[in-house]
A and B are shown apart, each in its own frame.
Chain A
Amino acid sequence: MNYRDVLAELKTDHNISWLKAEEMYEDEVYLWVGAGDFKAAVGFMSKKLSSPVSMLFAQDRRDRSEGFAVYCAFMSAPLKKWLFVCVSINGDSPRFDSLSNVVHSASLFEREIREMFGIEPAGNADGRRLRLHEEVWPADCFPLRKDFKAPAQIHPQQLHYGFIRGEGDGIFEIPVGPVHAGIIGPGHFRFSVAGEPIINLELRLGFSHRGVEKLFEGKDSHAVRLAECVSGDSVIAHSSAFCRALEKIYKVVVPLRARYIRAICLELERMYNHAGGIGGIALDVGFSFSSALAAIIKEKIQSLNRTISGHRFLKGVLCCGGVLQDIGDDKSRVLLETLRSVERDFNELAGILNSSVSFMDRVDTTGVLKRKTAEDLGVTGVAARASGLQIDLRRDFSDIYEIARFRMPHETGGDVLARLRVRFFEFGESIRLIREFVQNLPQGGLRSAEIQAQPGFALGYAEGWRGPVLYWIETGGTGAIDRCKIVDPSFLNWQGLAYCVLGDIVPDFPVCNKSFDLSYSGNDL
């Protein structure tokens, strides 16, 4: 199948003609349609490519007298393409027909567009704001519009968030957060319970909102330091997605050695987070011995990170055009030695967890996310792979991983155990991949010498440990960033968590939460 066949089918079978179809890069196609055809075209693409909405975002182009634009991106693994369905919207009374009743995964993105741009997704019934909380932010103040000025004096609406409530005899509400009992990020959970079982879970996030997308505007390639601070546990995933987008726009060729070093760092990041997450799952069912062992593994890898890059979270490794840190012979020796010791510890940890009957009893069939639900919500990454969806950007969009014969886990259960097994598998696979990469580390430069900033737009992506991290960037005439849209896998996966706990008991919520291991800061931006 070719993407041109898909476009032809759109025209012949659905009578939708497009205004413009451009293949911008070898992996990106932009299809501009009329405002009346937008919803139908999105619905068709989603069905045809069997893909949820990967990202849906708006852009303010009124300074070019082009109103607003809305982009809806789909990922197609068989085509090895990202397909954008785009539409121009009148700037005076901006609105478009809500897509969420044809493609449910568009729903959250539409709410985001409404609060950030003031574009009305007509027909999206959920008018609650995601990030600009009603208690502290006025109405009609849209930060991502170009003519936005931060209000000097804020007169909030004093409205309260409309939680969906379960009502009836014996139904209680348990509000939790945003300040939690442990050392974790801020978020509010509201359980409606009938006895012990959860009948509804409402998530209210956005407490970490820092206006990151707006901060990127006007910055140049040095903003990679900001990308590193979007989600502190996905430093490499975010910075490499950011760099990829700019490198595509600036037409920079990244040296092969740098790409290998990036891949090694990406896998190290996956390993320390998976070790931490597995330990967290054990801790949340009260199995503290194995969680201590997992913490030791995590610490070993983070110390290794410092040896290799000078930073325990691998900050400062990437730059636009390549990498700043080399992995020479002495460093790769330390790397391989540490991997051996980490592998030994990890096998012991896996042995302990797999042979503990009471542990297995807690995680087996707990927090089941059905495949159909995961598909509809657009769940990605570890959570999707545990529910039987075989999606991984490393498999479909990376020649380096193809050479290393990348393997994927096969889990279908969708429960905590399945997510745990996916992480077990990926940890082992990461060790293998790093060994491959170190062995085949090509000689050559670390970064491209000269970078010519220029206008353009492109999508950068990387499969972080949690799932795909996407950066869509457009640069203006001087090459400075004009619009930067970030999608962290947490954004869609939080919904998966809200569904998987239904019917389970409240004490199982922490372990379900940890099995998804989502980011507050990546979601809230």
Chain B
Amino acid sequence: MINILKTRLFKGVVTRKLKAAGARVYEPAGAELKALIAKKFGRSLNIRQVDTGSCAACGSEIIACNNPVYDIARFGINFVASPRHADCLLVTGPVSKNMAPALNRTYDAMPDPKFVITLGDCAFDAGVFKGSYYVESGVKSILPVVLHIPGCPPDPETIIRSLTDFLKDGSGPFKKNCV
């Protein structure tokens, strides 16, 4: 208790300036992303993430996007707990046969308009797991995908850069723009 009071008195509210390793890429991309989201989505883009059998590294990088260093929420991107609240489905993993029904049900539970983004090499075409008896050939064989974010796993800078570029001109490996 004494310690807590002492810290409060002498230090005040503890804050520190954090600088990400890739801040030079990340911050401008984030500012651009914020403007785009404000314009196209009315301030916030809500994303529901589904892991369909990834090695969890992609999930870890998405969590890293939310850490105090990258803090993607300040640009208007929220990761939501229910597909009912989501504009966008973000899928990682090569789609294990066991997860295909759950993936479809999650997509069906989302309100229209909606779109699907894949993240990580194995979500594109099963990656290193290609040819296995138990994986589908990537998410795009099951759902309509509008953007793929490549990498194994993509780092936070790549994730935000890809999202910004996509919202800017609807580019990406899948040309169809649903937004």
Say yes or no: A232-B57 contact (C-beta < 8 A), given A186-B102, A207-B99, A299-B69: yes
Contact with A along B53-69 (1 / 0, CB 8 A): 11111111111100111
User: Measured between C-beta atoms, what is the minimum distance from B107 to chain A in Å?
Assistant: 11
> Do B21 and A233 touch (CB < 8 A)?
no
> Do B98 and A299 touch (CB < 8 A)?
no
**With an 8 A cutoff between CB atoms, is B96 at the interface?**
yes
> Do A229 and B153 touch (CB < 8 A)?
no
- For residue B47, which residue of chain A has the nearest CB? A183
For the complex, give the distance between the alpha carbons of A148 and B101 in Å. 25
> Do A133 and B98 touch (CB < 8 A)?
yes
The interface residues of chain B lying within 8 Å CB-to-CB of A214 are: 132-133
> Do A136 and B67 touch (CB < 8 A)?
no
Looking at the complex, which one of A178, A210, A524 makes contact with B132 (CB distance below 8 Å)? A210
User: Measured between C-beta atoms, what is the minimum distance from B158 to chain A in Å?
Assistant: 11
**With an 8 A cutoff between CB atoms, is A135 at the interface?**
yes
> Do B99 and A186 touch (CB < 8 A)?
yes
The interface residues of chain A lying within 8 Å CB-to-CB of B50 are: 179, 186
Looking at the complex, which one of B18, B60, B64, B70 makes contact with A232 (CB distance below 8 Å)? B60
User: Measured between C-beta atoms, what is the minimum distance from A506 to chain B in Å?
Assistant: 17
Contact with A along B28-39 (1 / 0, CB 8 A): 000000000000
> Do B101 and A136 touch (CB < 8 A)?
yes
Say yes or no: A298-B53 contact (C-beta < 8 A), given A186-B102, A211-B134: no
**With an 8 A cutoff between CB atoms, is B143 at the interface?**
no
Contact with B along A286-319 (1 / 0, CB 8 A): 0000001001101100110010000011010000
The interface residues of chain A lying within 8 Å CB-to-CB of B26 are: none
Say yes or no: A136-B133 contact (C-beta < 8 A), given A185-B59, A186-B52: no
Tell me which residues from 197 to 234 in chain A have a Cβ below 8 Å from any Cβ of chain B.
Answer: 206-212, 214-215, 225-226, 229-233
Q: How large is the interface on B (under 10, 10 to 19, 20 to 34, 35 or more residues)?
A: 35 or more
For the complex, give the distance between the alpha carbons of A296 and B81 in Å. 23
Looking at the complex, which one of A132, A226, A276, A306 makes contact with B128 (CB distance below 8 Å)? A226
**With an 8 A cutoff between CB atoms, is B79 at the interface?**
yes
- For residue A148, which residue of chain B has the nearest CB? B133
- For residue A210, which residue of chain B has the nearest CB? B129
- Residue of B54, B56, B62, B135 contacting most chain A CB atoms (<10 Å): B56
**With an 8 A cutoff between CB atoms, is A107 at the interface?**
no
> Do B21 and A303 touch (CB < 8 A)?
yes
- Residue of A131, A150, A207, A520 contacting most chain B CB atoms (<10 Å): A207
User: Measured between C-beta atoms, what is the minimum distance from B163 to chain A in Å?
Assistant: 16
The interface residues of chain B lying within 8 Å CB-to-CB of A233 are: 56-57, 60
Q: How large is the interface on A (under 10, 10 to 19, 20 to 34, 35 or more residues)?
A: 35 or more
> Do A210 and B99 touch (CB < 8 A)?
no
User: Measured between C-beta atoms, what is the minimum distance from A163 to chain B in Å?
Assistant: 16
User: Measured between C-beta atoms, what is the minimum distance from B14 to chain A in Å?
Assistant: 8
Say yes or no: A136-B98 contact (C-beta < 8 A), given A306-B21, A521-B56: yes
Say yes or no: A521-B131 contact (C-beta < 8 A), given A133-B98, A183-B49: no
> Do B55 and A231 touch (CB < 8 A)?
yes
The interface residues of chain B lying within 8 Å CB-to-CB of A519 are: 56
**With an 8 A cutoff between CB atoms, is B122 at the interface?**
yes
The interface residues of chain B lying within 8 Å CB-to-CB of A208 are: 51, 53-54, 93, 96, 98-99
**With an 8 A cutoff between CB atoms, is A184 at the interface?**
yes
User: Measured between C-beta atoms, what is the minimum distance from A248 to chain B in Å?
Assistant: 24
> Do A355 and B3 touch (CB < 8 A)?
yes
> Do B128 and A136 touch (CB < 8 A)?
no
For the complex, give the distance between the alpha carbons of A355 and B3 in Å. 9
Looking at the complex, which one of B4, B63, B98 makes contact with A355 (CB distance below 8 Å)? B4
For the complex, give the distance between the alpha carbons of A131 and B60 in Å. 23
**With an 8 A cutoff between CB atoms, is A166 at the interface?**
no
**With an 8 A cutoff between CB atoms, is B106 at the interface?**
yes
User: Measured between C-beta atoms, what is the minimum distance from B11 to chain A in Å?
Assistant: 11
> Do A183 and B63 touch (CB < 8 A)?
yes
For the complex, give the distance between the alpha carbons of A235 and B55 in Å. 10
> Do A210 and B53 touch (CB < 8 A)?
yes
**With an 8 A cutoff between CB atoms, is B152 at the interface?**
yes
> Do B79 and A209 touch (CB < 8 A)?
no
> Do B96 and A209 touch (CB < 8 A)?
yes
**With an 8 A cutoff between CB atoms, is A143 at the interface?**
yes
The interface residues of chain A lying within 8 Å CB-to-CB of B132 are: 210-212, 214-215
The interface residues of chain B lying within 8 Å CB-to-CB of A235 are: 57
The interface residues of chain B lying within 8 Å CB-to-CB of A179 are: 50, 83, 102, 106
Looking at the complex, which one of B51, B53, B106 makes contact with A184 (CB distance below 8 Å)? B51
For the complex, give the distance between the alpha carbons of A209 and B52 in Å. 9
**With an 8 A cutoff between CB atoms, is B167 at the interface?**
no
- For residue B53, which residue of chain A has the nearest CB? A208
Tell me which residues from 479 to 525 in chain A have a Cβ below 8 Å from any Cβ of chain B.
Answer: 519-521, 524
Q: List 6 interface pairs A-B (beta carbons < 8 Å), by A numbering.
A: A209-B98, A225-B128, A232-B57, A232-B153, A313-B153, A355-B4
- Chain B residues with CB under 8 Å of chain A are 3-4, 18, 20-21, 49-64, 67-70, 79, 81-83, 93-94, 96-102, 106, 122, 127-129, 131-135, 152-153, 155
- Chain A residues with CB under 8 Å of chain B are 131-133, 135-137, 143, 148, 150, 178-179, 181-186, 206-212, 214-215, 225-226, 229-233, 235, 276, 292, 295-296, 298-299, 302-303, 306, 312-313, 315, 355, 519-521, 524
**Told that A229-B152, A313-B153 touch, could you supply 4 new A-B pairs with CB distance under 8 A?**
A184-B51, A232-B56, A520-B56, A521-B56
